[in-house]
Structure 1
Amino acid sequence: MFGLDKLTSGKDGRDAAKAMSDVLVNTRDSALQSIDRGTNRAVADLGQARNVYRGAQRNQLDALRSGYDTARDYGQRAYDAFTPYTNAGRNAFGQYQDAIGMNGADGRTRALAAFQAGPGYQWQVDQATDAAARKASALGLTASGNTLDAITRLGSNLANQEYGSYLDRLNGVSQMGYNATGQQAGALRDLGTVATGYGRDRASVYGQTAGNIAQTYGQQAGYHSGAGNAGGQLIANIGQGLANAASQNELAGQQAAANRAGLLMSGLQLGASVLGGGFGGGMGGGLGSLFGGGGGLTGSNWNTGNGTVPAGMTMNYGGR
């Protein structure tokens, strides 16, 4: 009646505090779910970034491998192109060592067996001996010992010259092989440089990819840390709000109790005022006016010992 039940129960205050608590809990749950979704999306994107880095690494390594294989193929071709010259030079150098006596008697034997006069040698010998014989015949010395000795010395000199020329040819082939060996060494050096560069570039690709992937993991850790901090701060804020709501709920109960106490005190004060007015101005004027206003209680005596009305006294209830 007249809202006194609400005033003295505190229900509205507690309902408001509960509604506030529900809103805060729902807000907290929704916010935490949003943080989780955002973090998961960011982590998923970073996972895709790592896959892209790994794919780029494979492509770079494939390109490096292709370039290295091509360079190695050309280098090997260059090396192989000089192989016939190095083989010939190696053989010629061995024969040259045999011919000049570096390999002992066996080597000299091999040198003599291997020696072949040039195609023009025999023609040169024939021409020289024929010329000497014709000259001796013209002088009438064809069968003389001097003529035969001269022809022999001529053939021997020509043979020595041919052998010397043979050694020069061996030395030339040997030198050619030496030069070809130098070219092959250069080709091998180039191949080594290519291989070194290939290894260095591969290491660089691995290092770059590792750095990029490590960076994404660092970012992922940062997202998790940021989400944890944001969630913790959110929970702290919501907790404070919930504490405030609980406090308001408690205050609503306390206020309702205070309202009830206030009403009780007001009632007691009202009763005291009424009773005080009745006894102070006479029972007839106080309680008489309260119960209907006639003359109140009449007579000059009131027996309070047993609650009876003395003889000759009546109570007036306002004509009722």
Structure 2
Amino acid sequence: MGFLDSLTGGNVGKAAAAATKKNRTLINKFDRQGQGIINTGEARSSGAINKAIAGYDPYTSAGRDATSMYSNALGLGGDDGTAAAQGAFQAGPGYDFAMDQGTQAALRGASAAGMLNSGNTLTALTQYGQGLANQEYGSWLDRLQGLSSQGLSATGGQASAYGGLSDLYQGTADDRLGLASNVVQARMGNNNQLAQVREQQSAAKGSFLGGLLNMGVGLGTKALTGGLF
């Protein structure tokens, strides 16, 4: 078989063809491994960024609620909004505690003075409650505004993280495009090499057949001419 291949040109390009096939396997392996690396990197990075985004959620949620309540307190939510803000303020533990402590102190003082049920005591309690409400309401609005600002800052942090996520996806898209381009170029080169091998093999076979034909023509001519030509 080896001798026949030598005669017919069957050995031409065999080593090159085998190498080309091995190269094709390596190219495909490179493509799969490259895609796997990109996928793993993207998944880990996006997971970390999404975790960071989720970490802001309690602050953005509290900020939204505070902004809504602050708007209601300023009258921007209409009568219903104003009523909701006043109800939330009065139900606050700080206000209730301060009112309870102040009222008890006033009652103890009036009781010690023997004026527990006097009109002056009731007036004093009313004035105390009104003054405390005005004072605490302003402080409550300040706290709402602070919480709203905190939520705004947290929202900015999330927006920045989303920008990082967008950059990550753009980067991996570029990596995929670059990998695909390299693989396509490698495959084109591989195909060109294989085509050259096929052409060499075809040329070798053509040369062998041409030689046989010429030999046959020569022998026939000699036979016809009695060996003169």
TM-score range, shorter chain: 0.7 to 0.9
Counterpart for residue 86 of structure 2 = 112
**Greater gyration radius:** 1
Q: Which moved more, 1:195-204 or 1:75-84?
A: 195-204
Counterpart for residue 218 of structure 2 = 244
Quick one: distance in 2 between partners of 1:246 and 1:240? Answer: 10
Shift of 1:71: 0.5
Quick one: distance in 2 between partners of 1:62 and 1:54? Answer: 12
Counterpart for residue 164 of structure 2 = 190
Shift of 1:124: 8.2
Q: Using CA pairs below 8 Å that are at least 6 residues apart, which structure has the higher relative contact order?
A: 2
Residue type of the alignment partner of 1:72: S
Structure 2 residue 33 is the aligned partner of structure 1 residue 31: no
Structure 2 residue 195 is the aligned partner of structure 1 residue 218: no
Q: Which has the higher helix share?
A: 2
Structure 2 residue 99 is the aligned partner of structure 1 residue 122: yes
Q: Any unmatched runs of 5+ in structure 1?
A: 1-26, 138-142, 256-320
Superimposed CA distance per residue, residues 251-290 of structure 1 (whole angstroms, 9 cap, x where no aligned partner): 44459xxxxxxxxxxxxxxxxxxxxxxxxxxxxxxxxxxx
Residue type of the alignment partner of 1:62: G
Counterpart for residue 42 of structure 2 = 68
Counterpart for residue 145 of structure 2 = 171
Residue type of the alignment partner of 1:221: A
Counterpart for residue 89 of structure 1 = 63
Superposed, 1:237-316 pairs within 5 Å as 237-253=211-227
Residue type of the alignment partner of 1:79: I
Quick one: distance in 2 between partners of 1:112 and 1:176? Answer: 22
**1:127–1:168 CA distance, 2 compared to 1 (3 A):** farther
Contact 2:12–2:200 (Cα < 8 Å) also in 1: no
Structure 2 residue 18 is the aligned partner of structure 1 residue 44: yes
**1:199–1:245 CA distance, 2 compared to 1 (3 A):** same
Counterpart for residue 73 of structure 2 = 99
Quick one: distance in 2 between partners of 1:50 and 1:114? Answer: 72
Counterpart for residue 54 of structure 1 = 28
**1:64–1:185 CA distance, 2 compared to 1 (3 A):** same
SS at match of 2:75: coil
Q: TM-score scaled to structure 2, two decimals?
A: 0.78
Q: Any unmatched runs of 5+ in structure 2?
A: none
Quick one: distance in 2 between partners of 1:108 and 1:49? Answer: 76
State the identity as a percent.
30
Quick one: distance in 2 between partners of 1:55 and 1:188? Answer: 34
Structure 2 residue 180 is the aligned partner of structure 1 residue 206: yes
Give the CA RMSD over aligned residues. Answer: 3.2
Residue type of the alignment partner of 2:191: Y
Q: TM-score scaled to structure 1, two decimals?
A: 0.58
